Amino acid sequence: MTDSRTTLHLAHLDALERAYATLLDTHGYDGVLLYSGHPHRHFGDDQEASFATYGHFLHWIAQPGLSHSWLLIRPGQPPLLRFHAPADFWHLAPQIPNAAWTQRFTIETATDAQPPSVLASRAGKRLAVLGDVTPELADRIGAELNPPALTRALDELRVRKSDYEIDCLSEANRLALAGHHAARDAFLAGGAELDIQLAYLGASRQRESEVPYQNIVGLNAHAGVLHYQHYDIEAPEHRRSLLVDAGHRVAGYAADITRTWAGPAADTQFAELISGVDALQQALIAAIRPGVGYVDLHHSMHHHLGELLRTQGLVRCSAESAVESGITRAFCPHGLGHLLGLQVHDVAGRQDPRGEPLPAPENDPALRLTRELEAGMAVTMEPGLYFIPLLLEPLRDTPAGRDIDWQAVGRLMPHGGIRIEDNVVVGSEGPINLTR
């Protein structure tokens, strides 16, 4: 960790201590116990699924992948970290890092996964425990398990990012972009999806178990599968398009970036559409300000998309008609973006600052962020334009379908689609684009 990030991290921990003290007092708790979580075994097997450390634990302890550990927060006392370091010759046990932040904690190493023994002497204290904990264990230690009101309040605490968190997100973007450049080069050199994935991992210096989500590497029609989950090992005969949605983590904070490129066999209009999606994305980012409703930005995306479809001759109606008739949603069925942080789809995106639900609009059920933007939020901005038969074909025999140039759509269908995604912090006076 750099000296500047160390300073920011210590200030981040100071702010967390103050915020937790206030929230615990507000909700009537004397302390909260955060469990880092543990891997789960596949059914009938001795192999474990990939593991992600619980976000609220990671908010304090910058150790992604740390399992079976506990953090006890009690106002007025140093946080107590029970650090799980088993005696194990099968695996390399985790080690407490030589870092400045460790001086802020009382740390006890443990070879077992039990919660701190200090809990046995907490008579008359009200305690909450958060994380992947069984009701039986919560009862044994006399703690309330994942109380909803406190959990929502702690989710809300993660919505506005500290300077330390923004620094981590910025570095994660820088490292992810190195992977994206390598992925583009591998594509243009004729690589298959697997080759492109390996180039991304190599350039971004990470293994597959460390990426914040499974990288999406889609050639041609696969670019139109929104969460495409495979890697072909043979390159296609015709290289029309590549979509890469891939990220990186720094201290648990995730970059989430998507880029789309036209290949040597692309229809000439496809490159024009990529430029059009990029331009509309930048126009939407420029509109980011505190107080702007993210749902309004999402609706604006559809109007921009309708205009792009019109100017490119893919529809013969106005942008407004393309939106109202549902055409734009057939070309882009997902939301504009989401909150970003310790989780790729970070917490509290569909609740107001008091923790009350803010459901997605009826016509946009996939929208993951429905709040008004505030300074310090980190969001993704990822408009898309796809040629997905499952969504477009039902329009063919409808009044809306008569406004679509099906011959042009047919030419572009083998290209799959386009998504351009940047990570943006809401600054007090406008957007701070971490990706560009």
How many Å apart are CA 272 and CA 287, to the nearest integer?
A: 23
Cβ-based neighbours of 377, under 8 Å, separated by 6 or more: 159, 160, 161, 339, 425, 426
Which of 137, 157, 177 represents a domain boundary (last residue)? 157
Residues 192, 146, single domain; the answer is no
Are the C-beta atoms of residues 120 and 26 closer than 8 Å to each other? no
Residues 87, 3, single domain; the answer is yes
Residues 132, 211, single domain; the answer is no
Nearest to 297 by CA among 157, 431, 416, 387: 431
Instruction: Specify binding-site residues for Mn(2+).
Output: 245, 256, 338, 382, 421
What's the predicted TM-score (pTM) here? 0.96
Residues 310, 179, single domain; the answer is yes
Give the mean pLDDT of the chain: 96
Nearest to 168 by CA among 53, 88, 253: 253
Which of 157, 186, 206 represents a domain boundary (last residue)? 157
Q: Label residue 119 by pLDDT band (50, 70, 90).
A: confident
Residues 250, 143, single domain; the answer is no
Residue 39 CA neighbour count, 13 Å, CB half: 13
Asked if pLDDT for residue 122 goes beyond 80, the answer is no
R_g of the chain, CA atoms, integer Å: 24
- Taking CB atoms within 8 Å and a gap of at least 24, the contacts of 84-90 are 84/36, 84/109, 84/110, 84/111, 84/112, 84/113, 85/109, 85/110, 85/111, 86/111, 86/112, 87/111
pLDDT tens digits for range 222-237: 999 999 999 999 999 9
Residues 147, 169, single domain; the answer is no
Asked if pLDDT for residue 409 goes beyond 70, the answer is yes
**What is the domain count for the chain?**
2
How many Å apart are CA 367 and CA 145, to the nearest integer?
A: 29
Q: Across the strands, what pairs with 31?
A: 127
What's the confidence (pLDDT) of residue 228?
98
How many Å apart are CA 381 and CA 390, to the nearest integer?
A: 25
29: its two tokens: 């708790």
> What does the pLDDT average to over 82-109?
95
Q: What is the CATH number of the domain that holds 369?
A: 3.90.230.10
Residues 45, 185, single domain; the answer is no
Q: What is the DSSP string of 229-297?
A: ----SS--SS--EEEEEEEEEETTEEEEEEEEEE-TT--HHHHHHHHHHHHHHHHHHHT--TT-BHHHH
Q: What is the DSSP string of 181-214?
A: HHHHHHHHTT--HHHHHHHHHHHHT--GGGSSSP
How many Å apart are CA 60 and CA 55, to the nearest integer?
A: 9
What's the confidence (pLDDT) of residue 180?
98
Q: What is the DSSP string of 352-373?
A: -TTS-B-PPPTT-TT----SBP
User: Which SS3 state, helix, strand or coil, does residue 156 take?
Assistant: helix
How many Å apart are CA 258 and CA 58, to the nearest integer?
A: 25
> What does the pLDDT average to over 4-22?
97
Are the C-beta atoms of residues 118 and 72 closer than 8 Å to each other? yes
Q: Label residue 2 by pLDDT band (50, 70, 90).
A: confident
What's the confidence (pLDDT) of residue 120?
63
Task: Please state, for a pLDDT cut of 90, what percent of the chain lies above it.
Answer: 97
Q: What is the CATH number of the domain that holds 138?
A: 3.40.350.10
Residues 239, 168, single domain; the answer is yes
Residues 215, 73, single domain; the answer is no
AA identity, residue 402: R
Which of 128, 157, 186 represents a domain boundary (last residue)? 157
Residues 151, 189, single domain; the answer is no
Asked if pLDDT for residue 123 goes beyond 80, the answer is no
Are the C-beta atoms of residues 348 and 159 closer than 8 Å to each other? yes
User: Which SS3 state, helix, strand or coil, does residue 24 take?
Assistant: helix
Residues 121, 98, single domain; the answer is yes
| Cα-based angle 39, 43, 49 (whole degrees, multiple of 5) | 30
Instruction: Specify binding-site residues.
Output: 245, 256, 338, 382, 421
pLDDT tens digits for range 156-194: 999 999 999 999 999 999 999 999 999 999 999 999 999
Domain membership of residue 129 as a residue range:
1-157
Asked if pLDDT for residue 196 goes beyond 70, the answer is yes
Residues 394, 414, single domain; the answer is yes
How many Å apart are CA 29 and CA 25, to the nearest integer?
A: 6
